[in-house]
Amino acid sequence: MSRQHPQINLSRRSLFKFGAGAIGTGVLTAGIGSNLLAPQKALAEDDITPDKALQELLDGNQRFVKSKRKNPHQTHSRLVEVAKGQNPFASILSCADSRVPSEIIFDQGLGDLFVCRVAGNIATREEIGSLEFGSLILGSKVIMLVGHERCGAVSAAIKGGEVPGQIGSLIEAIKPSVESSKDQSGDKVKNACKANILAQIKKLNSSTVLSDLIKAEKLKIVGAYYDLDTGIISIVG
């Protein structure tokens, strides 16, 4: 979003450009665009589909894994280009873990990804709202929710006990996934991590904004698990 924060009204016609008739009346009556930035040119206009957007992420991860990164869109000219506006083709909700940087593991660059990061990759109201903006207004075609191997937040939820500050809010959000996966065989942290990925996707799917875009075939939501040892992203679900 622009740092100048221009006061530009988002017209009903412009909103339909992203959601067509699939966007529910609740979104419109909420006055979503009364003072938002004008929508950017979406990649949908370049005929990219949710499936193609997903494949671009997976192809980029393969380049990363095989040490064949192209490092696209990382030039000064790209910097100047996207300073005028953004139209990311994909959104990522991932853990805040320093070992899981989205632009690197998916081999993308400036303006390609709309990224939200929070410990335990939790779909909070704020994260969901951000992803709604990324999809509805900016035109992102896929949301990938990324959990990862040996996640500290998931491990803490399994261990339990008292924690300082607001860390407990993260643990409480993950506990249902720990409970639902406790009887599974194998690595408890890995099982709980994957259960948490699916639980957070369920929260995303409960968004009427996102579900309407999915129904209109303008968006896809997928879960993924990142292997810290290999760098490989695998689809979960």
pLDDT in tens, the chain (237 residues): 333 333 334 433 344 444 444 444 344 334 444 334 444 444 334 579 999 999 999 999 999 999 999 999 999 999 999 999 999 999 999 999 999 999 999 999 999 999 999 999 999 999 999 999 999 999 999 999 999 999 999 999 999 988 999 999 999 999 999 999 999 999 999 999 999 999 999 999 999 999 999 999 999 999 999 999 999 999 998
Contacts of 186 (CB under 8 A, 6+ apart): none
Cβ–Cβ < 8 Å for 111, 73: yes
Q: Measure the CA dihedral 132/204/143/130, to 10°.
A: 30
CA 36 – CA 42 distance, rounded (Å): 16
Nearest to 194 by CA among 144, 142, 237, 143: 237
Structure token digits, residue 159: 């261990």
> Domains in the chain, please, with CATH?
42-236 (3.40.1050.10)
Cβ–Cβ < 8 Å for 145, 222: yes
Model pTM score: 0.83
